[in-house]
Chains A and B, each alone.
Chain A
């Protein structure tokens, strides 16, 4: 049996986790309390939503999206789930099972779309047809369907499970290129505009290690395996790099991201407003677009006409949009 000397900072019971960035150890109950407080702080500080709002949470079957759905429901928010079957081999079959089980066990409402059944294509096929990296077709499809589901269902805001590590890794990528337009839009909340719903990221103050611990302690069964297309991508490399830094210098990762939001993002505010131009409705689906047909409808048109492509054929083509 494992024995440990470390005690919870709050109650002095035996600790289950060490959090070097807080220079403290926590028992299971107080780790949960820390997570709840960080999420409430993010919701309040960035004015995300209230208990009167109807929320739609994008869920993938992974730890972050299930954790945020669980936290919101536990805290008394009205949150439904939204899942897209991407047709990425066994990964998609399994991820769908985890999401449905989570929703069923808790009696929660889950809105689902299946790319193959509902639109006649899947991500490997779309990647082949567009000759782009799979993550680019995937990200675009998910964003489009998520926005559409939010509009169709009359939701007040959409929620994603992006955590501190996700945001810090994207920030590192944007800073390495000094991509001012992306930097200006990298906020925990994007207001509704031009027919796009308000987008909120309540987990930006929690690391992945903390959201994973939330799931373990709460008994949430999530898909630990990754999407096979993610393996080896640049986003993961940035995360590893930041975690090596964090190992040597605890709390540098959160300072990097949270101080960007507090100190730098306000200076960039007018840069992102400039990017918002006039949009019209897509002729086919009514989504906001600068063209006659939106990018999603163009993708569906091309991909659904193509023979299904197995996921193995696109696994060499890595990278993230």
Chain B
């Protein structure tokens, strides 16, 4: 699956089959600071991600 990240903006390819929470843990990202969007839809932590999914991990913390 394709995973889009920000700060800096980048895309990585990962194997599917893991949950959203597992993906965040693997990337060492804190759940409270992010939303995960799968194929354009918001998904919860136990959602299982497939090989063909396009994932956006969107940081929600703003600094102004």
B42 in complex: contacting residue of A216, A225, A227, A320, CB < 8 Å:
A216
Binds B, one of A237-245, A273-281, A282-290: A237-245
Q: Pick from A16, A25, A243: contact of B32, CB below 8 A.
A: A243
Write the nearest CB–CB distance from A320 to chain B, whole angstroms. Answer: 8
For the complex, count residues of A whose C-beta is within 8 A of B. 43
Which residues of chain B are within 8 angstroms of A233 by Cβ–Cβ distance?
Answer: 63
Q: Does A72 contact B (CB under 8 A)?
A: no
Most chain-A Cβ atoms within 10 A of its Cβ — which of B46, B48, B50?
B46
Residues of B within 8 A of A213 (CB): 35, 42
| Structural contact, A18 and B42, CB atoms closer than 8 A | no
B43 & A62 in contact (Cβ 8 Å cutoff) = no
A198 at the interface (CB under 8 A from B): no
A209-236 contact mask (Cβ, 8 Å, vs B): 1 or 0: 1011100110000001111001101011
State whether A16 touches B60 (Cβ < 8 A). no
The verdict on A181 contacting chain B, using a C-beta distance below 8 Å, is no
The answer to whether B44 touches A212 (Cβ under 8 A) is no
Contacts of B38 in A (CB 8 A): 2
Q: A17-B35, A226-B63, A227-B63 given. 16 additional CB < 8 A pairs?
A: A2-B50, A16-B43, A16-B44, A20-B31, A60-B64, A62-B62, A207-B32, A213-B35, A224-B6, A226-B64, A227-B64, A240-B33, A247-B30, A247-B31, A253-B32, A320-B63
14 of the cross-chain contacts (CB-CB < 8 Å) are A1-B50, A2-B48, A2-B49, A4-B48, A17-B42, A209-B32, A212-B58, A213-B35, A216-B35, A226-B7, A226-B63, A230-B63, A239-B33, A243-B32
Binding site for B on A (CB under 8 A): 1-6, 15-18, 20, 25, 28, 60, 62-64, 165, 207-209, 211-213, 216-217, 224-227, 230-231, 233, 235-236, 239-240, 243-244, 246-247, 253, 320
